[in-house]
Structure 1
Amino acid sequence: MKKVIGNLVGGLVGAAILNIVHQAVAQFSEDAPRVDKVGEEALSKGLDKIGIQPPQGKKLFLTTLAADVISNAAYYSFIGTVRRKNIIELGLAAGLLAGVGALTLTKPMGLDDKPITRTNKTKCMTVAWYTIGGLAAGLVIKALRR
């Protein structure tokens, strides 16, 4: 049980760091990826498809942020399923994979990919932020295993 809780805590820390970096850099850089905009579109389209009126404005942003933190925390928590000596490497790989997935899967899912693919700098930051989140999750999970 302690391992599961450590994995969930690590996943939550990785997801929190990912979102903090996304939001902070968006305040200072025009090239910053806007994954939140992709998430808002995905949430709105998903709710529309099942006949639920999506929230608007700040409510949409906060609902999307909560869903993003929960989904990324769950994803990053799987980093802890490997042996302790490989956790940091898996954290890096999981983050890298999530970043590349964000760039390559958005358009095939019927979403506007411009908020994360606008420029080469935007693309690099998208992958980097997810990788940072994966690394943070791996470091926390490893530390909690000691």
Structure 2
Amino acid sequence: MMLLNKNMLGGLIGAAVLNLIHTVAKRMDPLAPEVDKLGEEALSKAVSAAGLEPPTGSRLVAATLGADIASNAALYSLIGIGGKKHMLARGVLVGAAVGLGTLTIPGKAGLDDTPVKKSRRTEIMTVAWYVLGGLAAAAAIKAMRKG
């Protein structure tokens, strides 16, 4: 399998792990981050700014999920740039950067950041889950390169 395909597949695995963690945790913990709400607001505003009618209801949820998985997969695929050495460290760094960006960028972009800033614990979970997604992507890319 080509290196780019391995990176992309690994990124997709990391994004899937991240979304699974978010989905399960939201059902178990009222302070869990609700990144999906942030994404729905961002998508609605972006589509409206383009002069189009944003989706609503289940169409908005599906569009946001698709955009979230695609964007996180693309970000996590960057972990595979470079050799196998330090792959897990790159996973941690990329995950931490995306998690910290999720905490800081929305408010500056005019979005309601409450879904990821309900409490200090919510903020820690946000970053930790992106790190876990990064580690999953790194482990997947590294495993595929062994073959």
Q: Say yes or no: TM over 0.5.
A: yes
State the match for 1:62 in structure 2: 62
**Aligned-partner SS, 2:108:** coil
Which residue does 2:31 correspond to in 1? 31
The question of 1:109 aligning with 2:105 is answered no
CA distance in 1, matches of 2:18, 2:39: 14
CA distance in 2, matches of 1:129, 1:61: 20
**Which amino acid in the other structure matches residue 31 of structure 2?**
D
Distance 2:53 2:28 in 1: 33
Task: Please state whether the residue corresponding to 2:15 is helix, strand or coil.
Answer: helix
The one-letter amino acid of 1:93's match is L
C-alpha displacement at 1:83, in angstroms?
1.2
Separation in 1, partners of 2:144, 2:63: 30
Q: Which amino acid aligns with 2:113?
A: D
Q: 2 CA distance for matches of 1:140 and 1:116? A: 27
Q: Secondary structure at the match of 1:144?
A: helix
SS state at 2:52 partner? coil
| Count of aligned positions | 146
1:20 offset after TM fit, Å? 0.7
User: Which ranges in structure 1 are unaligned for 5 or more consecutive residues?
Assistant: none
Superposed CA offset, 1:107-145 (max 9, x none): 001110000001011101100110000000000000011
Paired residues for 1:1-146 under 5 Å:
2-146=2-146
Q: CA deviation at 1:52?
A: 1.0
- Indicate the SS of the match to 2:107: coil
> Aligned partners of 1:45, 1:61: CA distance in 2, in Å?
14
Query: What TM-score results when the alignment is normalised by the length of structure 2?
Result: 0.97
> Alpha-carbon deviation of 1:106?
1.0
* Distance (Å, rounded) in 2 between the aligned partners of 1:65 and 1:11: 15
Q: Distance in 1 between matches of 2:82 and 2:35?
A: 28
Distance 1:111 1:99 in 2: 16
Computed over aligned residues only, the root mean square deviation of the Cα atoms, in angstroms, reads 0.8
Aligned residue identity for 1:119: S
Q: Distance in 2 between matches of 1:98 and 1:73?
A: 12
* Structure 2 SS opposite 1:106: helix
CA distance in 1, matches of 2:41, 2:82: 34
SS at match of 2:55: coil
> What residue ranges of structure 2 are gaps of 5+ in the alignment?
none
Runs of 4+ in structure 1 displaced over 3 angstroms?
none
TM-score (norm 1): 0.98
